[in-house]
Amino acid sequence: MRTLLRVLLVVVLGAAAAYPNDTFVALGAGGLVPVKANQIVMQSEELLISTHQISIQYVFANPTDKDIVATVAFPLPELAGGDVENEPLSLPSEADLNFVQFAVEDEGKAVPVRVEYRAYAQGREITSRLRAAGLAPNVLLEPLNASLLKVPESNRRDLEKAELIVPSEFNPPLHSVGSHGWWATWSMRVQYYWTQRFPAHSTMKLTQRYKPIVGGSYIVGSDDGRNSVRPYCGGPDVPFQIAETKKRHHSETTDGIALLERTIDYILTTANNWNGPIRDFHLTVSLDSPEDILLTCTPGLHRTAPMRYELTRQNFHPSSELKLLILQVQK
């Protein structure tokens, strides 16, 4: 597969952005490059988000006289090795390359999906440098350390000297190296891609599912959460909501963890790569409990049920990304 890609990759690419929404791509020397899809119309996008799963159902239309066959990619947000080591991220899997369990269906039939992952540090791609040292550009702790065990010791020393890997103590221990291992200082960009056919003068339904990378921290003790909610446009009533939630669970004066912060990002703006706006866009955010507090700067997202928020737009040109903060009672 790598040999085939090297034959096909003939265009030089600079540093790519991370953008998880479907987009056309062309194969370039640095990876998969987004290309404007001037002929395909996104008639609808049905987006369902929870802390457990994200599913997207698209309806695309090809109004031309010819079938269009193209490579389509679904990139994930950039994942930093430092965040994997130091932040309370909730990763669906810490070992598999398809660590978000991404899957695609075309009219209900499973689509074979390939994956590409590349490494960046200080704004520069270092994938080739890592591979030359015998190391895969994966920042997940288990595959990273399993890969490092196969690297000559001199190469490991060079990687440590360059501060690309950092020795660390792990508790609980890793399966690959036990308590003593390394974490990566670079960031990983992952793209899933596949060949897609859009029939002439027809519509087709494409469904995707994956488990989100959920980030966040905690609101503890007497903290009213004011600083946590500010980036998500939390109003003056939110600290009161937080205090009332704590009070109901008798944790307003404790020093322990009171509320979990669950953050989910979804990148919408690559929908602008298709021909025209999203004709019909519907977003549903599903909560785990009626006590969950949802915060976002996305206008128009409103509660329609105790555990559901919704947003509907016609002829939608996304101008910003979707960033959600969900505050949950620790159980």
Confidence grade of residue 47 (pLDDT, cut at 50, 70, 90)? very high
What pLDDT sits at residue 275?
92
Please tell me the distance from the alpha carbon of residue 36 to that of residue 26, in angstroms, as a whole number: 10
What's the mean pLDDT in 21-36? 72
The closest alpha carbon to 208, from 54, 23, 51, 49, belongs to 54
What pLDDT sits at residue 220?
78
Choose from 61-70, 83-92, 235-244 the range with maximum mean pLDDT. 61-70
Please tell me the distance from the alpha carbon of residue 243 to that of residue 152, in angstroms, as a whole number: 54
The closest alpha carbon to 79, from 206, 211, 175, 187, belongs to 187
What's the mean pLDDT in 162-190? 93
Q: Residue 227's CB: how many other CB atoms inside 10 A?
A: 10
What pLDDT sits at residue 44?
97
Give just the sign of the alpha carbon dihedral 68, 69, 74, 75: negative
Phi, psi of 246 (to 5 degrees): -60, -45
Please tell me the distance from the alpha carbon of residue 162 to that of residue 264, in angstroms, as a whole number: 32
Instruction: Summarize pLDDT for 250-294 with one digit per residue, the tens.
Output: 644 445 557 888 999 888 888 888 999 999 999 999 999 999 999
Element (H, E) at 130: helix 127-132
C-beta separation of 87 from 225 below 8 A: no
Listing DSSP states for 173-210 in one string gives EETTTEEEEEEE-SEEEEEEEEEEEE-TTEEEEEEEEE
Supply the pTM of this predicted model: 0.82
Res. 298: pLDDT tops 90: yes
Res. 315: pLDDT tops 60: yes
What pLDDT sits at residue 228?
86
What's the mean pLDDT in 175-188? 94
Confidence grade of residue 330 (pLDDT, cut at 50, 70, 90)? confident
What pLDDT sits at residue 304?
97
Please tell me the distance from the alpha carbon of residue 219 to that of residue 12, in angstroms, as a whole number: 46
Domain ranges of the chain: 2-126+186-329
What percentage of the chain reaches a pLDDT higher than 90? 56
Q: Which of 51-65, 164-178, 182-196, 218-232 has the lowest mean pLDDT?
A: 218-232
What's the mean pLDDT in 90-117? 87
Confidence grade of residue 331 (pLDDT, cut at 50, 70, 90)? low
Res. 15: pLDDT tops 70: no
Confidence grade of residue 18 (pLDDT, cut at 50, 70, 90)? very low
What percentage of the chain reaches a pLDDT higher than 70? 88
Asked if omega into 299 is within 30° of 0 (cis), the reply is no
What architecture is domain 2-126+186-329? Sandwich (2.60)
